[in-house]
Amino acid sequence: MAGYGLVDLLAIAPTYLSVIVSGTQSLIVIRALRLLRVFRVFKFGHFVGEATVLRTALRASIRKIVVFLGTVLILVLIIGALMYLVEGEETGFTSIPQSIYWAVVTLTTVGYGDVAPQTVLGKFLASIVMIIGYGIIAVPTGIVTVELSAARKAAITTKACPECSAEGHDPDARFCKDCGSELEKE
């Protein structure tokens, strides 16, 4: 409950601050924090358990994602430098940072088109980078999904059904998922 008071304070403070200090009118956007109160109105409290599972999965996968991002960063540096050597300054790759920018845009499949390879070797390298980019998009998703599945399994109890002796019910389960009998309260 105290958190909502803080949300209210942060939501109204920019209004009064903009009256006192000129040039702070853009802070009025922070008033959108009042939308957080909607969670209280809709009683989203029963989703806290699911948020905990998600938080656990993200925390468990953070090291793997950092290693993955480090690998992608090294890959982008190598590809950018290689493209600078292949294409040269006359085709728009004026510097290695410009080529690294191109590598990031191409690897993330954004493809602005402001810089594009002109040589056959450059187009071949660009094609390889695009295919690698599609594969790279799936890796963090897979990492988090595996951890999410593991966190979800950890939330399952060994509470046994008194009728059919089935185990593996959710912690908040009141009825057996196999036979439908009422589970004993702990």
Q: What pLDDT score does 17 carry?
A: 76
51 and 135 together in one domain? yes
Q: What pLDDT score does 169 carry?
A: 76
Amino acid code (one letter) for 58: L
For 70: left if phi > 0, alpha if psi spans -120 to 50, otherwise beta; the answer is alpha
**pTM for the whole structure:** 0.60
What's 135's DSSP letter? H
Helix, strand, or coil here: 88? coil
117 and 163 together in one domain? no
Q: Identify the burial level of 111 via C-beta atoms within 10 angstroms of its C-beta, where 0-12 means exposed, 13-18 middle and 19 or more buried.
A: middle
Provide the domain limits for residue 150.
46-154
Q: What pLDDT score does 170 carry?
A: 76
53 and 127 together in one domain? yes
14 and 27 together in one domain? yes
Amino acid code (one letter) for 109: T
For residue 19, give Cα distances in angstroms to 24, 33, 137, 177, 182.
8, 19, 46, 59, 61
Q: Provide the Cα torsion 84, 87, 93, 94; round to 10°.
A: 80
86 and 73 together in one domain? yes
Q: What is the CATH number of the domain that holds 76?
A: 1.10.287.70
Task: Tell me how many domains the chain contains.
Answer: 3
Q: What pLDDT score does 4 carry?
A: 64
58 and 101 together in one domain? yes
161 and 138 together in one domain? no
52 and 137 together in one domain? yes
34 and 57 together in one domain? no
The series of mean pLDDT values per 10 residues for the chain, 186 residues long, is 67 75 71 65 67 86 93 96 94 94 93 92 95 89 88 71 82 83 78
9 and 83 together in one domain? no
Q: What pLDDT score does 26 carry?
A: 72
132 and 78 together in one domain? yes
